[in-house]
Each structure stands twice: as C-alpha cells, then as structure tokens.
Amino acid sequence: MTQTLGIIGSGLVGKAVAHLAVSAGYQVVLSNSRGPESLSDLVQALGPLARAGTVEEAIAAADIVSLAIPLATFETLPANKLAGKVVLDQTNYYPGMGDFRRADLDNGDLTSSELVQQHLEGAKVVKGVHNLGWHHMQYSARPKGHVERTTLPIAGDDTAAKQAVTRFIQAVGYDVVDTGSLADSWRIEPNTPIYFWPYVPDIAQGLTENEAKQAYLRPGQPISPTAAQQLIDKTERPSPIGGTLQGLPPIHVALFLELASADTVQR
C-alpha cells in the first residue's frame, strides 16, 4: 500500500523532502500558510504523486507529517489535528535569526523537539532529516547498498513512530542511526559533530565564486552508520545552544540568501 507524506511548509526544505518522497514512490500532500493555489507550479513539477492541500488536508491524508517550517512558527500548528500522527520534526533552533528566542531552549531545559512535542500533545514526534542542507538532502540520497549512501540520525520517544520514520528515511535513500529520546536530541542539534558539516564536500582552493558554488552542491563523503554513531557518542552539549549563520559554510549562506530572495520575488 502506497503511503502518504503530508508536508507543512513549501520552502527549500519542504521542496527537497517532497522530491525525495515522490522519487521513492510516496504520495505527497503539500501545504503552506498561503494556501493550495500557491503550490500549483511545485505540484506540477513533482508529478502525479503530489497534490496541494490545506494544512488540515495534508495532516488528515498523511501517514507521516513533515514539519518543514521555521521553529519560530511551531505554535501555529494545529495540535488537535496532529494528535495520534507520526510527526517528522525537521525544525532547528537558530536564535540569531529573527526575534525567536526562548530561555528554556537557551538553558537546555528542553530540546527544540521536546518543545514541539509539548505543543503537539498526543502526536508522536521524531526528530530527523534536519541536519543537512536542502540541496544535499535531496541529492545525496542513494539506493540501499550503494557505496555513496550516507547516514542520518533520528531521535524520539515513541518506538513505533521511530520505526515508521526509519523506514521512510531508508526508502528515500539514507541509512539511519537512532540517537535515543527527544531529550537526547541535543546530540544532533546545530553545532554538534553530526550537524551539517559531515555532509558538505571539500572545496578546492583557488576556485571562482561560481565554481565554488557548483563544487559545494556535490555530495560530501558518505558517513557509515558506525561513523555516524561515533560522531554522536563524542558529542558534548554546545554552549551557547542553537545555530548561527556563522556556523554554516559561507557558500551555503550565500546560496540560501540567493534562493530565498528569488522565492520571495516569485511569491
């Protein structure tokens, strides 16, 4: 039976996970805050397995709901509609971007996914597919057994939900390691060894800006499940907590700003 991924958010991350899902044979229902009519071009590009809907329609249709939204908007999520659903939390805490900042996150009282779980009481939140850039997320996927297949971490409190998310991630092209509970998910948050940089390719010196951008878009070296677990095991809690633009490759930031600006113009 074909499964359905419901996606809340249609930015760079939402588009990337949608492409992964349809390539793996999943039905996809895309949604955003602007309404289904704003998604017609994206749905057409994704093909017959994709359709647009309201947030509520995406949730209702989904076997797994992907949160491809800024963490700052988590309180807009309809908690009552998501009760009982497996929720793939792709959000990250970046307190330096915008005005979203919380003491409970800064102090380490909660992980960002525990905060999402608190709001989505009754949902089964699993942290995952959050620790690499949108481009590498889409184009680093490889079939099972491929020498370039790499590994992504997950964390969650519900065993069955983690199994469902693991099957999804494996189906779309990645191996998986289980980090533990949502309380343990700080080990895979921004500024940790498994976050972002392991998936980035080496960029040769002396390239022009355009050449460097093209080189950056290639996949990085694959990470085996054993190597991924070793990175996680040696993790110490970052201080301060949360990601920064300075903690990302400058080329990534330039590409992000370039594409985000283009997307804003298109809207």
Contact 60, 31 (CB under 8 A): no
The model's pLDDT over 162-174, given as tens digits with 9 standing for 90+, comes to 999 999 999 999 9
- CATH code of 70-266, in short, is 3.40.50
Residue-level pLDDT at 257: 80
Please, which pLDDT band fits residue 260 given cuts at 50, 70 and 90? low
Q: Are 151 and 176 a contacting pair, CB within 8 Å?
A: yes
Is 80 exceeded by the pLDDT of residue 264? no
pLDDT of res. 223: 98
Peptide bond between residue 240 and the one before it cis (omega within 30 degrees of 0):
yes
Residue pLDDT, tens place only, 22-75: 999 999 999 999 999 999 999 999 999 999 999 999 999 999 999 999 999 999
Characterize 236-262 residue by residue with b for buried, 16 or more Cβ atoms within 10 angstroms of its Cβ, and e for exposed. eebeebbbeeebbbebbeebbeeeeee
Question: How large is the average pLDDT for residues 202-217?
Answer: 89
Distance separating alpha carbons of residues 205 and 167, to the nearest angstrom: 39
Helix, strand, coil share (%) of the chain residues, nearest 5:
45, 15, 40
Domain assignments of the chain as residue spans, ordered by start: 70-266
CA distance 165 to 176: 9
